[in-house]
Amino acid sequence: MTTKQAPSTLQKMGLDTPMALALHLPSRYEDETELLTIEEAIHLGRFNSAQTQGVVIRNQVLFRPRRQMIVTIEDETETLNLRFLNFYPSQQKQMAVGVNIRVRGEVREGFQGPEMVHPTVRVVAPDTPLPASLTPVYPASVGVSQTIIRKAVSQALRDPSLQDSLAEFLPKDLMAELLPSHDWPNLQAAITYLHQPPADANTQALLERTHPAWRRVQFEELLAQQISLKRAHAIRRERHAPSFPRAKKQSFEEGLLKVLPFKLTNSQDRVWSEISNDLSQSFPMNRLLQGDVGSGKTVVAALAAARAMDHGYQAAIMAPTEILAEQHYLKMKEWFEPLGVRIAWLSGSLKAKEKRLAQEVIENGQAQLIIGTHALIQENVSFAKLGLAVIDEQHRFGVRQRLEIQQRVGSELFYCHQLMMSATPIPRTLAMTYYADLDVSVIDELPPGRKPIATKVVKASRRDEVIGGLQSWLSKGLQAYWVCPLIEESEVLQLQTAVESFEQLTQALPDFKVGLVHGRLKAEEKAAVMAAFKANEIQLLVATTVIEVGVDVPNAALMVIEHAERFGYAQIHQLRGRVGRGSADSVCILMYAEPLSMAAKERLQTLRETSDGFVIAERDLSLRGPGELLGAKQSGDAMLRFVDLQRDAWLIELAQQAAERLLAEHADLVERHLERWLGSRAEFLKA
């Protein structure tokens, strides 16, 4: 097939080569291999799609109760009405009296006897043979009919070039060794089967994508992914980055360790030595630092920054929200300014002049440490000598954004070390696929003295009681958060609820100062409220989810979350991590309104029972799929089209082994396999 034959809508769907069409696999099938008499179709009844045929004996357009067309067909056994609520004049002509039509749909009992509503209709000669295979139904988009896609696909399947693109090249002995009992067809056979399954195919297995033909395709896809991840790893090791071995005495690193008001935990010590080792290599670090909320990732990032600065390079810390970035900025100022480090702050909300000033010192190298939001990559910033980029809450950034931090110095692409941080643990299946090129360090203990957070689940009708409890809590000199409901449909409504809660709580708690922080405040207003809360000038902070990440006020030991049923696992886990940072016992109250869905009930129960980030992340993954954990920006570019990480987890390991063997023993095959599967999408795997 050539592209000039293909309608442009197909091209828009990316279906512009025989290979792309071959890999456009059906989402389900219709069984047109069987033809029932009208009587049999009626007998089959509702909820079963049936195919039957007959001659049109009547074709009327009614106007009551609304405009509609009723076509009556007949065979030697029975008659059947077909009802069309929307129809074109052409359809009226197509189904003229005397024409033989083949129809497909569910028969149900209508007012005038058995009928099919909006059946699929084809005009055929009565003796037209039935197809031998099931009819594929393809993922389509507006303006492309199934007929067009079916035709293009079956044409593509006959294209001689496909012989080559789908040729079997996995060494026989390799498969036999890795999976002795498999009954998978070869790739070409698998693809053909999936497009044109025989009438007696196991449709259940096809639909659930557990059929051996599916397995074969899924395996190939995972294999491509594993190979490219392994290659990306190798490529990274060949790139050059400045090497930062442990510096001599009188360094920022040493200075920082001296000014810290605490000792590193064993976990922090361990991850720091892993990172320190990476930094001393001459290829770029690509490491994820994972640690539950409050585990103390920031200081590890600061140590890494100190190391880069000790070698005369700049370090940048990027965070996804202004509040979080600002917290980092304040922390870094506290730790590094006494050591004489020059710190620059860059965020989208800076005034043009301040921004220009910041960009200037970043560009001329006066700024050694740069803290900011997305602005760091968006505002056309060029770094004089960036040696390390720390990306906090990395899952909130897309792959592309992470790639963008690599900078150009002159005409040379410059690779800096990258440290990503996340409080959301990566489930094993994701770690083995999307993140396989990341080295991972885990902080698996909290700083000493932390008390576990008691989580309580409380009905909203007990709000007054909760406020009463809040009062005695605040009387002990502790502080609290009141988190307002998330209203995804309307930011205005969300704000309104927050203001209402704020007013109610201000009235109910006259002895205390209540503050309000939400997304609509200007950055400096937000900062002022946060600073007042931190200084205990505000005792109760009413907030929308802007406090979700990174806020650190140890004296705040109580958190109330209103309409907790509207929040997801990760959000509550993150929010809850704002308390339990001081020496007092901490409590998180999840208030919910009824009725509670099954899912919400289970979620709240799990959150009450565990604060283990790994357990919560696994639940989250099974609920929402990997897209969200990977970050919104990435999910649209899902690399795995046919694999479901939950359902097909066992295949990942197999693909990993096969990838290793292929790279070691059959390097020649690797290129072809990647080209076949990834084409232009390969770039995403290099992040």
SS (H, E, C) 47-113: CCEEEEEEEEEEEEEECCCCCEEEEEEECCCCEEEEEECCCCHHHHHHCCCCCEEEEEEEEEEECCE
The distance of closest approach from Cβ of residue 24 to ligand ADP in the complex, given in angstroms and rounded to an integer, is: 44
372 interface partner picked from Mg ion, ligand ADP, none, CB below 5 to 8 A per type: none
384 binds, among ligand ADP, Mg ion, none (CB under 5 to 8 A by kind): none
Of 264, 458, 640, 682, which lies in the binding site for ligand ADP, with binding defined by CB under 6 A? 264
d(C-alpha 570, C-alpha 574), whole Å:
6
Residue 283 DSSP class: S
Compute the least distance from the CB of residue 329 to ligand ADP, in Å.
Answer: 13
The DSSP call for residue 446 is P
Query: Which of the stretches 195-203, 235-243, 257-265, 599-607 binds ligand ADP when contact is defined by CB under 6 A?
Result: 257-265
As beta bridge partners, residue 121 has 103
Give the DSSP H/E element, type plus range, for residue 534: helix 523-534
Cα–Cα distance, 95 to 84 (Å, whole number): 12
Taking the complex as a whole, the smallest distance from the CB of residue 440 to ligand ADP amounts, in Å, to 15
Window contacting ligand ADP (CB under 6 A); options: 199-207, 289-297, 467-475, 649-657: 289-297
Q: Please give the size of the binding site for Mg ion, defined by CB under 5 A.
A: 1
C-alpha span between 465 and 470 (Å, rounded): 9
Q: How far is the CB of 392 from ligand ADP (least distance, A)?
A: 7
Question: Of the candidates 74, 106, 404, 552, which one interacts with ligand ADP according to CB under 6 A?
Answer: 552
Exposure string (b/e) for 376-396, b if CB count within 10 Å is 16 or more? bbebebebbbbbbbbbbbbbb
Interaction between residue 294 and Mg ion (CB under 5 A): no
Picked from ligand ADP, Mg ion, none, the partner binding residue 613 (CB below 5 to 8 A depending on kind) is none
- In the list 231, 297, 307, 673, the residue contacting ligand ADP (rule: CB under 6 A) is 297
Write down the residue that tokens 């896609």 correspond to.
149
The overall longest dimension of the chain from CA atoms, in Å, is 99
Pick the closer one to ligand ADP by CB: 398 or 613.
Answer: 613
Q: Decide whether 51 or 327 has the Cβ nearer to ligand ADP.
A: 327
**What whole-number distance in Å separates Cα of residue 87 and Cα of residue 73?**
17
Q: Find which of Mg ion, ligand ADP, none residue 530 binds, CB within 5 to 8 Å per kind.
A: none
Tell me the number of residues near ligand ADP by CB under 6 A: 17
Q: Which does 268 bind (CB under 5 to 8 A by kind): ligand ADP, Mg ion, none?
A: ligand ADP
Q: Does 295 bind ligand ADP (CB under 6 A)?
A: yes
Alpha-carbon gap, residue 621 to 340, rounded angstroms: 44
Amino acid identity for residue 610 in this structure: T
Residue ranges in 540-559 that form contacts with Mg ion under rule CB under 5 A:
550
Near ligand ADP by CB under 6 A: residue from 21, 293, 381, 658: 293
Beta strand residue intervals within 523-622, DSSP E: 540-543, 556-561, 586-592
Contacts with ligand ADP, 567-606, as mask; x by CB under 6 A: --------------x-------------------------
Query: What phi and psi, each to the nearest 5 degrees, are found at residue 124?
Result: -140, 155
Binding site partner of 626, from ligand ADP, Mg ion, none, Cβ cut-off 5-8 A by kind: none
424 binds, among Mg ion, ligand ADP, none (CB under 5 to 8 A by kind): none
Residue 295 interacting partner from Mg ion, ligand ADP, none (CB closer than 5 to 8 Å by kind): ligand ADP
**Contact partner, 293, from Mg ion, ligand ADP, none, Cβ < 5-8 Å per class:** ligand ADP
Phi, psi of 341 (to 5 degrees): -80, 135
* Cα(418)–Cα(386) distance, integer angstroms: 11
Q: Which does 568 bind (CB under 5 to 8 A by kind): Mg ion, ligand ADP, none?
A: none
Give the Cα separation of 640 and 222 in Å (integer).
7
Q: Which does 305 bind (CB under 5 to 8 A by kind): Mg ion, ligand ADP, none?
A: none
Q: What is the distance between the alpha carbons of residues 95 and 101, in angstroms, rounded to a whole number?
A: 7
Site for ligand ADP, residues 28 to 47, rule: CB under 6 A? none
User: Residues 385-424 vs ligand ADP: string with x where CB under 6 A?
Assistant: --------------------------------------x-
Q: How far is the CB of 261 from ligand ADP (least distance, A)?
A: 8
Q: Which does 515 bind (CB under 5 to 8 A by kind): Mg ion, ligand ADP, none?
A: none
Under the binding rule (CB under 6 A), the answer on residue 440 touching ligand ADP is no
Q: Of these partners, ligand ADP, Mg ion, none, which one is at the site of residue 552 (CB under 5 to 8 Å by kind)?
A: ligand ADP
- Contact criterion met (CB below 8 Å) for 193 and 183: no
Pairing type for strands 417-422 and 386-391 reads parallel
284 is in the binding site of which of ligand ADP, Mg ion, none (Cβ under 5 to 8 A by kind)?
none
- Our CB check for ligand ADP shows the closer of 119 and 294 to be 294
Determine if 268 is a binding residue for ligand ADP (CB under 6 A): yes
Q: To which H or E segment does residue 673 belong?
A: helix 667-677
Stretch that binds ligand ADP, among 239-247, 264-272, 332-340, 464-472 (CB under 6 A): 264-272
Which of ligand ADP, Mg ion, none interacts with 267 (beta carbon under 5 to 8 A by kind)? none
Q: How far apart are CA 144 and CA 109, in angstroms?
A: 32
- Please measure the distance between the N-terminal and C-terminal CA atoms of the chain and give it in whole angstroms: 35
Does the footprint of ligand ADP cover residue 88 (CB under 6 A)? no
| 677 contacts: CB under 8 Å, gap ≥ 6 | 220, 221, 224, 225
Residue nearest to ligand ADP (CB): 296
Q: Is the peptide bond before 65 cis (omega within 30 degrees of 0)?
A: yes
SS3 (DSSP) at 419? strand
List strand residue ranges (DSSP E) for 460-569, in order.
Answer: 479-483, 514-517, 540-543, 556-561
Q: Per CB under 6 A, which region of 117-125, 224-232, 291-299, 374-382 contacts ligand ADP?
A: 291-299
Q: Least distance (Å) from ligand ADP to the CB of residue 406?
A: 24
Burial of 445-473, coded b for 16+ CB within 10 Å and e otherwise, reads bbbeebbebebebbeeeebeebeebbeeb
Mark the segment that binds ligand ADP (CB under 6 A) among 108-116, 212-220, 259-267, 584-592. 259-267
Instruction: Please give the DSSP secondary-structure letter assigned to residue 442.
Output: E
Of the candidate spans 38-46, 86-94, 186-194, 258-266, the one that interacts with ligand ADP by CB under 6 A turns out to be 258-266
105 in contact with Mg ion (CB under 5 A): no
Pick between residue 185 and residue 320 the one whose CB is nearest to Mg ion: 320
Stretch that binds ligand ADP, among 93-101, 166-174, 286-294, 502-510 (CB under 6 A): 286-294
Q: How far apart are CA 659 and CA 436, in angstroms?
A: 12
Question: Is position 291 an interface residue for ligand ADP (rule: CB under 6 A)?
Answer: yes
Residues 236 to 255: which contact Mg ion by CB under 5 A? none
Q: Which residue in 673, 684, 653 sits closest to 179, CA to CA? A: 653
Binding site for ligand ADP (CB under 6 A): 262-265, 268, 291, 293-299, 423, 447, 552, 581
Binding site for Mg ion (CB under 5 A): 550
